[in-house]
Chain A
Amino acid sequence: EAQVTQNPRYLITVTGKKLTVTCSQNMNHEYMSWYRQDPGLGLRQIYYSMNVEVTDKGDVPEGYKVSRKEKRNFPLILESPSPNQTSLYFCASTPGGTYGELFFGEGSRLTVL
């Protein structure tokens, strides 16, 4: 089954404790990206990757890191989480091209205390 898989789905952590949210897609898509969803703000892009070893900042990259060592994986790293990073996070992938549908994972709800 074609899908984008995120882990963990739910996480409660404390300020400053490094964490990684993994994302994996099995559709051989070129593009991958991370979004955060907050009430009243919609979906905002954090980082994106156009291919292996190619990443770039989205609209709200502060406090986050990413890596793209393999085509299928695109982990999101919070080196020192803060309470303002409490949010619902989505990973997405798309084959790219002229008009490409974004395929989203099911989301990871992160709470930073």
Chain B
Amino acid sequence: GENVEQHPSTLSVQEGDSAVIKCTYSDSASNYFPWYKQELGKGPQLIIDIRSNVGEKKDQRIAVTLNKTAKHFSLHITETQPEDSAVYFCAASRKTGANNLFFGTGTRLTVIP
């Protein structure tokens, strides 16, 4: 099955700086890569996703890049704010639905005011 590795496990940045979280996947057939944000005491929530037919996607301060050849994808957060502090999970899937999404181990991001 798919194996998703995520780094770093913890990340602290100063407010206003950028944060980058990296993930690698093992299954070359994976074609969908979502990122979820989990705030304290809440369930994870989708923040951005990318499909294998594109190399980059942006949504305001958040961007995701995908390198299919190297089988890695990254989350970039610019101009970080305290409310960006959360645990972030990457995931990979051949298709969606409840049965084929494999999650990374999570990154706890702390934005220091």
Contact = CB atoms under 8 A, between A and B. Distances in A.
Interface of A: 4, 31-33, 35, 40-45, 48-50, 56, 58-59, 90, 92-94, 96-102, 104-107
A31 B8 CA distance: 31
A96 B45 CA distance: 16
Interface stretch (B61-69, B70-78, B94-102): B94-102
Given A33-B99, A42-B6, A105 B43 contact: yes
B98 A99 contact: no
Contacts of A50: 97-99
B105 interface: yes
Most A C-beta atoms less than 10 A away, residue of B32, B43, B104? B43
Contacts of A59: 1
Contacts of A99: 32, 49, 51, 96
Interface of B: 1, 6, 9, 32, 34, 36, 41-46, 49, 51, 89, 95-99, 101, 103-106
A68 to B, nearest CB: 11
Given A105-B43, A106-B43, A96 B97 contact: yes
A42 B105 contact: yes
Chain B interface secondary structure, helix, strand, loop or mixed?
loop
B105 A4 contact: no
A50 B95 CA distance: 13
Contacts of A102: 34, 36, 44, 46, 98, 101
A97 B96 CA distance: 7
